[in-house]
Structure 1
């Protein structure tokens, strides 16, 4: 039996990372999209930019049922910044393990920083915008020399 999709906004913005991880573990894109407002947007680690709950749900559902089907997310450093009574920015370092690589092997762990802007609505908090950014330790930027590569200019 599939895990239920949360239908209620969060009581506090601090709950967002755990709710995102719980939604991820359901392997259902609708569970992730339920954490967002109807008109929210989401930018993934490769820069794909989705607008609206349905557009957020669809690619997450695909990924969670294919190359992310065996993954686990673990929360690390988390910071909450309140911007008044009804808006908060949530940042959480996530560690992803168990991704299936294109050759069907299990890829190494990777870290991202999930940043979400949450707004308090009538029943609680929902994300209005989020971006997930890959962490590439020791690198400063990316260079495109035919293929995008993380580089560190300090090593010259």
Structure 2
């Protein structure tokens, strides 16, 4: 009887562990998180709404801009973006340039990579800048059922 009890407990433990396992690379259905979040980013950017973009971030976000500036906190990020939207990014258009890749570290922590392009940016002299491309890396955290960007790295690739 002790052997059967031990076997049953082992099986229950294995069932619990595998039931709570999170796949390294999420499939198409799980990719919905990345698609939803990138869509929200693009909508906020293309509306030139720094406040809406800030709402996608945690209060204590760490965000590396394409120029290498590290921004700490939602308020500082929104303030910098508002300045950008009042200046050379006034007419900018952000696009998703391909598929998004998402991986779950835990059920409430995900890493998202996605490629983007931006056009409509002005150079310092007011002339149009070329369209450029990049990749975002986000660490998303889920708190109270809501996903938010906790860490972001934005890199220009061309």
Which band: TM-score by shorter chain? 0.7 to 0.9
Q: Who is 1:43 aligned against? A: 64
| Structure 1 residue matching 2:106: 3-state secondary structure | coil
Q: Who is 2:119 aligned against? A: 97
Gaps of 5+ in 1: 1-10, 137-156
Q: Report the Cα distance in structure 2 between the residues aligned to 1:14 and 1:82, rounded to whole angstroms.
A: 14
Q: Who is 1:84 aligned against? A: 106
| TM-score normalised by L of structure 1 | 0.77
Q: In terms of Rg, which structure is larger?
A: 2
* CA-CA distance at 1:13 after TM superposition: 4.1
Gaps of 5+ in 2: 1-31
* CA-CA distance at 1:15 after TM superposition: 1.4
Contact kept in structure 2, 1:13 and 1:118, CA below 8 Å: no
Q: Which has the higher helix share?
A: 2
* Root-mean-square deviation over aligned CA pairs: 1.3
* CA-CA distance at 1:71 after TM superposition: 0.7
In the TM superposition, what are the counterparts of 1:120-139 in structure 2 within 5 Å? Answer: 120-136=142-158
- Cα deviation digits, residues 48-79 of structure 1 (max 9, x gap): 11111101101111101210011111102221
